[in-house]
């Protein structure tokens, strides 16, 4: 009789537990990152009694979390790739906006206008109004070079600030994973259910994988380990190797800008690890700063430097006409050697430093048109400067100012277009992976509702077994009376 009672009681316990887990699944159907659970049970160990095998009902082995380990790793990888492409597109679109020539007078049009003004001055070398137009056109050139170069510098600075913010978030995720490792180990050591904690850890891992590519595994001591690809171990069980950031001087930075942020291990600050990360937002930000923006800074500086160098080389050879009477014995070369732009020693930071010379800025008559002294109708210098527009003096003598500038902005347009396509593709792959994982580990309301009916009926049936056993027991007691 007691065997029947034990069997009924085990059935009641199993059905009750199954109902609890089904209810837990339903309540978390819309919880981000939740993996459905189910009760693992098996038949009880049979006993031999009076030479016969007696059943002992059912046993609950525990609650099982439906896991898709390979898909989870694939999802982390897809997240890293998608975040890399999204951030890259975001940065390239900001760069592209700087060089947007549609609807506004971009640098290319301003440079053309500058050379056209010298062409007009060559036609009327004594016209002071046209000299004023030449100076105004030159001022617009210097202003737009500084705008472009300064905005590129600002983008690099903003990336540094964003990196600082991301490192703080990364360290928070690393510490959260370590704490969850400790809770999971402690709970499982006493036979507790850790499915919900493992879901929380997976969410933290997905958050971490947005910053860079990660791998996870259990080491030979059963410690949960998180690695950053190309960098090394960041979490091992409850131990965390935090990241840190520090601004560098110009010579130590990876992009040649003073104050640029580099990433280190907090406990190993001797050398930075910035360029070792793979995929994710961190890699994308560093690529934009150290490759895309740095290359454009150099190209803008090259155009600005060669423009000032080319114009100054011609302008300094001519003679300014001062409308003064030539004094006998006076040096006729005293009004020559005048620079149009400020002299730049080299091309470094030329885009920020380009400016008119003080001579031209303060006196229109210092805009030289004549090759010979005291010859107001001489236009050979102005004409020679205007011809610089079509001279191939950039890119080792293979490109004009216009060609080199259009090549630079054309490359940005191509890269932005490619980044847009890559982003769409990575988003599609990410959505596909999420869908596959959700199909395996997600909660189906219809399925759980059907399970609840099944477990409820099983519970009622087990209760009837107990009642039948009780009725039989009462009959036996009645016989003894």
Give residue-wise pLDDT tens across range 202-240. 999 999 999 999 999 988 888 899 999 999 999 999 999
| C-alpha dist (Å) from residue 438 to 67, 70, 418 | 11, 13, 30
**Span between the terminal Cα atoms of the chain, in Å:** 18
Q: Quick one: CA torsion of 454, 455, 459, 460, rounded to 10 degrees?
A: -30
**CA dist 169 → 166, 176, 208, 243, 344 (Å):** 5, 11, 9, 10, 43
Q: Give the Cα-Cα-Cα angle 353, 355, 359 (nearest 5 degrees).
A: 140
Asked if residues 342 and 355 have their Cβ atoms less than 8 Å apart, the reply is yes
Contact at 8 Å (CB) between 338 and 360?
Answer: yes
Q: Please give the structure tokens belonging to residue 83.
A: 């975040």
For residue 362, the tally of other CB atoms under 10 A from its CB is 9
Distances (CA, A) of 194 to 1, 183, 188, 207, 218: 37, 8, 7, 20, 16
CA dist., res. 121 & res. 113, Å (int)? 12
Residue 224 sits at φ, ψ, to 5 deg, of -80, 120
Predicted local distance difference test score (pLDDT) of residue 367 = 93
Element (H, E) at 140: helix 128-189
Would you write out the chain's pLDDT as a tens digit for each of its 481 residues? 557 888 888 889 999 999 999 999 999 999 988 999 999 998 888 777 766 777 778 888 889 999 888 899 999 999 999 999 999 999 999 999 888 766 567 888 999 999 999 999 999 998 999 999 999 999 999 999 999 999 999 999 999 999 999 999 999 999 999 999 999 999 988 888 889 999 999 999 999 999 999 999 988 888 899 999 999 999 999 999 999 998 877 777 777 777 788 899 998 888 889 889 999 999 999 999 999 999 999 999 999 999 999 999 999 999 987 655 455 555 555 678 899 999 998 888 999 999 999 999 999 999 999 998 888 788 999 999 999 999 999 888 889 998 899 899 889 999 999 999 999 999 999 999 999 999 999 999 999 999 999 999 999 998 898 888 877 877 777 776 6
3-state helix, strand, coil in the chain (%, to 5): 60, 10, 30
Q: What is the CA radius of gyration of the chain?
A: 38
Q: What is the C-alpha separation between 234 and 241, in angstroms, rounded?
A: 5
Helix (H, G, I), strand (E, B) or coil at 125: coil
> Distance (Å, rounded) from C-alpha 118 to C-alpha 379?
10
Sheet containing 224-228: give its strands across.
214-218, 224-228, 232-236, 239-240
pLDDT in tens, 317-360: 999 876 554 555 555 556 788 999 999 988 889 999 999 999 99
Spatial distance between the Cα atoms of 437 and 431, rounded to a whole number of angstroms: 10
Q: In whole angstroms, what is the distance from residue 425 CA to residue 290 CA?
A: 25
Three-class secondary structure assignment of 285-319: HHHHHHHHHHHHHHHHHHHHHHHHHHHHHHHCCCE
Tokens of 356: 């008119």
Plot region of 5 (φ>0 → left; ψ -120 to 50 → alpha; else → beta) = alpha
């Amino acid at each position: 009789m007691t065997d029947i009672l034990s069997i009924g009681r085990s059935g009641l316990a199993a059905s009750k537990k199954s109902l609890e887990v089904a209810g837990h699944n339903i309540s978390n159907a819309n919880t981000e990152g939740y993996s459905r659970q189910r009760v693992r049970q098996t038949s009880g160990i049979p006993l031999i009694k009076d030479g016969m095998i007696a059943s002992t009902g059912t046993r609950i082995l525990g609650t099982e979390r439906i896991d898709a380990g390979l898909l989870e790793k694939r999802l982390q990888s897809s997240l890293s790739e998608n975040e890399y492409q999204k951030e890259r597109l975001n940065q390239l679109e900001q760069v592209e906006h700087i060089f947007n020539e549609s609807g506004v007078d971009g640098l290319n049009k301003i440079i053309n206008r500058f050379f056209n003004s010298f062409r007009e001055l060559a036609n009327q070398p004594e016209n002071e109004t046209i000299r004023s137009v030449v100076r105004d056109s030159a001022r617009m050139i210097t202003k737009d070079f500084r705008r472009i170069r300064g905005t590129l510098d600002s983008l690099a600075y903003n990336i540094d600030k964003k990196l600082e913010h991301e490192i703080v978030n990364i360290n928070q995720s690393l510490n959260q994973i370590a704490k969850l490792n400790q809770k999971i180990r402690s709970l499982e050591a006493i036979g507790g259910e850790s499915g919900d904690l493992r879901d929380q850890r997976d969410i933290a891992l997905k958050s971490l994988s947005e910053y860079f590519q990660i791998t996870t595994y259990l080491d030979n001591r059963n410690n949960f380990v998180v690695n950053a690809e190309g960098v090394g171990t960041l979490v091992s069980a409850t131990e965390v190797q935090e990241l840190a950031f520090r601004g560098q001087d110009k010579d130590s930075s990876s992009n040649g800008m003073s104050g640029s942020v580099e990433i280190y291990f907090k406990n190993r600050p001797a050398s930075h690890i910035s360029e070792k990360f793979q995929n994710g937002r961190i890699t994308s930000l560093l690529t934009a700063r150290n490759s895309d923006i740095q290359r454009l800074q150099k190209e803008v500086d090259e155009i600005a430097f060669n423009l000032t160098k080319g114009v100054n080389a011609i302008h300094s050879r001519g003679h300014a006409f001062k409308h003064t009477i030539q004094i006998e014995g006076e040096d006729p070369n005293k009004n020559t050697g005048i620079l149009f732009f400020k002299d730049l020693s080299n091309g470094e930071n030329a885009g920020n430093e380009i400016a008119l010379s003080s001579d031209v800025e303060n006196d229109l008559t210092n805009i030289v048109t004549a090759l010979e002294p005291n010859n107001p109708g001489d236009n050979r210098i102005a004409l020679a400067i205007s011809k610089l527009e079509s001279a191939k003096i950039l890119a080792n003598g293979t490109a004009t100012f216009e060609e080199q500038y259009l090549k630079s902005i054309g490359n940005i347009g191509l890269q932005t277009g490619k980044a847009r396509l890559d982003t769409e593709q990575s988003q599609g792959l990410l959505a596909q992976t999420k869908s596959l994982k959700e199909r395996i580990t997600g909660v189906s309301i219809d399925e759980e509702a059907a399970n609840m009916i099944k477990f409820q009926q099983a519970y009622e049936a087990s209760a009837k077994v107990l009642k039948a056993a009780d009725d039989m027991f009462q009959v036996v007691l009645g016989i003894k009376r």
